[in-house]
Amino acid sequence: MPLYEYRCDACGHEFEALQKISDEPLVDCPACQEAQLRKLVSASGFRLKGDGWYETDFKTGSKRNLADTGTSDSGKKTNAAACGTGCGCH
């Protein structure tokens, strides 16, 4: 679920709210109770819920275990074309 930032035009109170994308924007300020809240434009944050997220969760067939292709623990030379920077992260 995304985290949204809000600011009250009446009192200047700023806060974050965890809301569904489909939820209506908040209107009433929790600090002064005025209907002056404005949703701010910011880098959105989100929370992944559940027991865990793994690289192979949604891959099938030959696409599984991509982290093992082209590398060995001793060499650590990888095909870095994935990010295009030559950093070796992929």
Q: How far apart are CA 74 and CA 9, in angstroms?
A: 58
Proportion of the chain in helix, strand, coil states, percent, rounded to 5: 10, 20, 70
pLDDT digit string (tens) for 39-53?
A: 998 776 666 666 666
Q: How far apart are CA 74 and CA 88, in angstroms?
A: 14
**pLDDT value of position 23:** 93
Residue 49 is which amino acid? K
pLDDT digit string (tens) for 26-82?
A: 999 999 999 999 999 877 666 666 666 665 566 666 655 555 555 555 544 444 455
Its pTM stands at 0.49
Residue 29's Cα: distance from chain center in Å?
26
What is the phi/psi pair of residue 67, to 5°?
-65, -20
Residue 34 is which amino acid? E
pLDDT digit string (tens) for 2-35?
A: 889 999 999 999 999 999 989 999 999 999 999 9
